[in-house]
Amino acid sequence: MFREDFVWGVASSAYQVEGAAYEDGKKASQQDVINKENYEKRGFATADIASDQYHHYKEDIALFAEMGFKCYRMSIAWSRIYPTGQEMTPNEEGLTFYDAVFDECRKYGIEPIVTLSHYETPLALATAWNAWADRRTIDCFERYVHTVFERYKDKVKY
């Protein structure tokens, strides 16, 4: 038996579950294209659809609650917030999606725990600057992190 203070939860990454890889302003991340050809050849799901949480997050979170989960460790897709990574203003549709996910978690008493980068650097930064090999990527990441912290400061504690 688990201790009373044990936190039972579930974890995912945006790449693994969201799908909608090119919807509502989102552009490709490195993960969206890495291994895509091999996955398609073998009949595996790719980031294009994944488990389609983008369209089914309410059902997914309701199932988490039914299973008694108290936390959900998830990542935010950087390229859903800043599609190429180089924009000066964020993609509001991407921000709104995560607002809805966090609100749904709160509805069921599930604490969101957010990973800011789960190998999901916008593909445009990798192609233009070799991603993290160039200091400009760090500047773009800093803008993304600031946006996420400001937007979700009242919804995400961890």
pLDDT at position 6? 87
Q: What pTM, to 2 d.p., does this model score?
A: 0.93
Exposed (0-12), middle (13-18) or buried (19+): which is 31, by Cβ within 10 Å?
buried
pLDDT at position 119? 86
Q: Report which DSSP code applies to 70.
A: -
Per-residue pLDDT of the chain (158 residues; tens, 9 = 90+): 778 888 889 999 999 999 999 999 999 999 888 878 888 888 888 889 999 999 999 999 999 999 999 999 999 999 999 999 999 999 999 999 999 999 999 999 999 999 999 989 999 999 999 999 999 999 999 999 999 999 999 999 99
How many angstroms separate the CA atoms of 142 and 125, rounded? 14
pLDDT at position 129? 97
Q: How far is CA 93 from the centre of its chain?
A: 13
- Of 19, 156, 153, 139, which Cα lies nearest the Cα of 82? 139
How many angstroms separate the CA atoms of 51 and 68, rounded? 21
pLDDT at position 34? 85
How many angstroms separate the CA atoms of 124 and 71, rounded? 32
pLDDT at position 102? 98
